[in-house]
Amino acid sequence: MRRPWILVIAIVILAVLGAGIGYYLAVPERLEPVRGVVGSEKATFFADPRVRDALADHGLRVEVDARGSGEMSTTVPLGRYDFAFPGSEQAAERVRQVRPAVGSYAPFESPLVVATFTPIVDLLAGQGAAHRAPEGHWVLDLDRFLDLAHRDVRWDQIAGNVAYPARRDILLTTTHPSDSGSAAAYAWLAARQLGDDSPAVDQVVRLFADQGGLERSTDDPFQKYLTQALNFAPLVLAYEAQYVEAARSETLPSNATLLYLSPTVSGVHTLVAFDGPGDRVGRLLDTDPELLRLAAEHGFRTADESISAAVLAGLSAGGAALPARIGDLVQPPAPAAVEALLTTLDVRLRP
Amino acid sequence: MRRTACLSLVVVLLTAVAGCTGQTRPEPSEGSEAPYKRGSGVLRVLAGSELADLDPVLADAETATGVRVQLTQIGTLDGIERVVSGAAAADQDAIWFSSNRYLELHPDAAGKIDVTTKVANSPVVLGLRASVAQRLGWDRTRPTWSEIAEAAGAGRFTYGMTNPAASNSGYSALVSVAAALAGTGRALTTAEINALTPRLRPFFAGQSLTAGSSGWLADAYVKRQTGDAPVDGLINYESVLVSLNHGGQLSEPLVIVHPADGVVTADYPLTLLAGASEQARTNYAAIADYLRRPSTQRRIMDTTFRRPAVPGVEPADVLGPVDGGLVELPFPSRYDAATALVTGFGDALRRPARTIYLLDTSGSMRGARLDGLKTALLGLSGADTSLSGALTRFNGREQVILLPFSTRPAASRRFDVPETNREPALNQIRDQVRRFAAVGDTAVYDALVAGLDLARQLDAAEPGRITSVVLLTDGERTVGKSFADFRAYHAKLPAPTKAVPVFTLLFGEGNVGEMTEISALTGGRTFDARTGPLAAVFKEIRGYQ
């Protein structure tokens, strides 16, 4: 009569013990949570388990949201984050105006490039808008390209074009310059080439307005480049790091290749820390050898060129190695110099 | 005693197992994927009805993440309005429509939405019955939108499409055909849109079925194929069309026509609303992570035929051209142009509507109910100036017929709204509505027969309109013909009139069973107006007229 009850009690004790052990094992290590808002092109870096482990070694668990760099100073609720990590110094400056920083770090950069396809490069070369640099990589001649865009030349108007005879204007597919750092940098580059009189500004406006609806953050069009390939668009503005990362993870679409803009500008990805935990993340990204190595693996160019050069040397596009140094790189503009242009674009594109 | 012991043992073991599974993280189905992110509770999502087919995926997402996704269905336009007015943020955490393009152009949208996660892709294309596609040669060569428009205008095929003012698939089709016919190669401006009217009209002349949602359109197409007035094809998401081909309900498979000059593709952005709570953010991150895993992406493609949104998942063979075979057409880049397309569609492009309202003005409607009805109809006549009001108002070239009934059907009043200068006609409608008074009994079926008789006469005298009937009653039939009488009457109607859909409202003490049967019998739909304002339901019905 008593035996079954003993059995039951024993099982209850074992079950409680088992659940306790399970609970103990399931509770994650006690890491300090840090929240950041980052340009979407850096989201895969922060999601990489090796990056998470490297930060955990320093007691940090970093959770990030991906937003456009331009959005960070307009619609992002900065109050809930320990740091913001836009894609340019200009966007970082605007962030600092909205919320004061305790520190800023620029651990790596990445030049603006165009993700495209081999047959498309051939078509542009035929139009004199693309050529090989002396080192072998392909270059988009911005002056010549802007001229094609200005004349509203369509892909189906290129003689002998059977590769992509689409009835669409020859334009770069970008994000919205008000929301996203890459598009803002392209707007500035174009304006710099065209001059700053009012017809030139009209031309810059049309580089965006003629595309149709624009996405808010750089990784959105790039992901569509990867998944929909030429169905989505022939020429997609991106950071070199995005292309390198896709090449290394073998997710590039078939016939994918890379055009370097000439001139181009480098996105100096700048971490703006609002408090102690955010500052620790910034300092680690700037100095920790493991994190710098991982940033290079994700395609970013580090201040110590030897770290990123090893990664870039292993990759090629268009039958040539990626350049160790970017030629025809212009200095990024002073934040104030972009401000007026972006305000004009915002008014013209969002009536 | 022994049995009690055994039972206790089972209970204890189950408890222990449950305790363990509650604490350990389930492993992802693909070995290389990281552990699932966890949240808890509910993620409240305002969503388009076309996402209901992801319910099984969301059920598994709950097991993996601990987050239950609660979808509240709403039309795209009403959704946009709730987001920009801030109403959505009051009771929802996120939104999920097939596209955010129109929303993001809205001047008040900035600051209302936060993080966005693209979940899938599906272009809006044309599906045609195989025999019709063969007759047109489109099973062998892909036509351009111009060729499609020409054939539709010449009556060589008929099709169904959702209303662009209510549903994203119809809106995407409108953008595609407009951009393709303009042929400029860049985003359309308002001035260019107005100039396109004469060239776009023939395309819409071929439309014989409309709907307020993509899912209902597909269902209506299936029902119609066995009736007296089948439709040759429908414009919808590629995912919906391929699903129909795999659903076993078609008497003839659809040939999926990907227009040669391009498409507009939906990208299903799951979007956090600004101001969401920290718990909602955690839940959102867990669900977004789950949905973009390669294993989930493959499953979404295999079960719903949407194309993947992450690299590394090969598109299924049943899906259309890849690698540049489909060109993405430009969406308008400005809000005014995007809106001009919708209003232009209603006032100038679409096949004009003949809209018959059968309105119960019996004694039980007195008071708040009649006031609600008046507000709803005055709203459609121009008093509602909100975005959804502006896009659901009575259109230019529309024929509006008001037929109040109580003990008997009253004399009907017909209002022909001209293409331009609509105001005098709308004024007359408003005057008529204000005069409604509630008195007498409820002759539901006498009114329904009168309404369909009217539809038959008017359609015979002036064919070419899209005719529909709306029936509002707040009570049971008390006098006149019975439901059985109506069924017998309906069976003898000529085919075109038999295909006139009757949209019924569940309202007050109306007979739910009969209202549902009327809409099923006529190919209409039943709308529930028992809890919300009548005006909202009247606007929703506009998508189907």
pLDDT at B77: 81
Tell me, what's the pLDDT at B447? 97
State CA B232 to chain mean position distance.
20
Residue B78 pLDDT: 85
pLDDT score of B19: 41
The first and second tokens of residue B379, run together, are 């709203």
Which 8-state DSSP code applies to residue B409?
A: B
Instruction: Looking at the complex, report in whole angstroms how far the Cα of residue A296 sits from the nearest Cα belonging to chain B.
Output: 21
A45-59, B2-16, B245-259, B302-316: least confident range: B2-16
- Rounded mean pLDDT of chain A? 92
Q: Is A343 on the interface with B (CB under 8 A)?
A: no
For B31, half-sphere exposure in the C-beta direction (CA atoms, 13 angstrom radius) is 0
Contact assignment for A75 to B111 by CB distance below 8 Å: yes
Q: Is B121 on the interface with A (CB under 8 A)?
A: yes
Above 50 in pLDDT, residue A12? yes
Give per-residue pLDDT as tens, A14-29: 666 666 555 555 545 5
For residue B499, pLDDT beyond 80: yes
Q: What is the 3-state secondary structure (H, E, C) of A292-350?
A: HHHHHHCCCEECCHHHHHHHHHCCEECCEECCCCCCCECCCCCHHHHHHHHHHHHHHHC
- What's the pLDDT score for residue B25? 47
B residues 226-255 closer than 8 Å to A (CB): none
Residue B9 — pLDDT band, cuts 50, 70, 90?
very low
Q: What is the pLDDT of residues A54-71, one digit of tens each?
A: 999 999 999 999 999 999
**pLDDT of amino acid B23:** 41
Task: Please report, for residues B77, B238, B276, B531, the alpha-carbon distance to residue B138 in angstroms, rounded to integers and kept in the order given.
Answer: 33, 16, 48, 47
Please give the ipTM for the structure prediction.
0.88
Check CB contact of A212 with chain B, cutoff 8 Å.
yes
Q: Rounded CA gap, B370 and A276, in Å?
A: 63
Per-residue confidence at B116, pLDDT binned at 50, 70, 90? very high
| Residue B277 pLDDT greater than 60, yes or no | yes
Whether B21 shows a pLDDT value over 60: the answer reads no
What pLDDT was estimated at residue B33?
A: 77
**CB-closest option in B13, B274, B324 to A230:** B324
The pLDDT tens digits of the residues spanning B189-231 come to: 999 998 999 999 999 999 999 999 998 999 999 999 987 789 9
Mean pLDDT, to the nearest integer, of B106-117? 93
Interface mutation target, options A157, A227, A242, A346, chain B, most CBs of B under 10 Å: A227
Interface test with B, best of A7, A157, A231 (most B CBs within 10 A): A231
Q: What is the pLDDT of residues B453-486, one digit of tens each?
A: 999 999 999 999 999 999 999 988 999 999 999 9
For B53-103, the three-class secondary structure string (H helix, E strand, C coil) is HHHHHHHHHHHHHCEEEEEEECCHHHHHHHHHHCHHHHHCCEEECCCCHHH
| pLDDT score of A83 more than 80 | yes
Query: A229 to chain B: which residues are within 8 Å by CB?
Result: 322-324
- Name the pairing type of β-strands A103-117 and A256-262: antiparallel
- Catalogue the E-assigned strands of B417-523: 466-472, 502-506
Q: What is the mean pLDDT of residues A68-91?
A: 95
Kindly list the residues from chain A whose CB atom is less than 8 angstroms away from the CB atom of residue B118: 220, 223-224
For residue A2, the model assigns a pLDDT of 54
Under the banding of pLDDT at 50, 70 and 90, the label for residue A134 is very high
Task: Give burial (CB, 10 Å; 0-12/13-18/19+) of B85.
Answer: middle
Contact call for residues A93 and A270 (beta carbons, < 8 A): no
Closest Cβ–Cβ partner in B114, B261, B333 for A349: B333
pLDDT digits (tens, 9 = 90+) for B348-395: 999 999 999 999 999 999 999 999 999 999 999 999 998 889 899 999
* Contact call for A212 and B19, based on CB within 8 A: no
Q: Which band of pLDDT confidence, cut at 50, 70 and 90, is reported for residue A336?
A: confident
Predicted confidence band of residue A327 (pLDDT cuts 50, 70, 90): confident
Q: Give the pLDDT confidence score for residue B14 in this predicted structure.
A: 46
* pTM of the entire predicted model: 0.89
pLDDT at B280 over 50: yes
Partner A contacted by B488 (CB < 8 A): no
- Whether B307 sits inside 8 A of A227 (CB atoms) is yes
Give the pLDDT score at A335.
Answer: 84
pLDDT in tens, A183-234: 999 999 999 999 877 889 999 999 999 999 999 999 999 999 999 999 999 9
Q: What is the pLDDT of residue B388?
A: 87
Would you place residue B412 in the very low, low, confident or very high pLDDT band (cuts 50, 70, 90)? very high
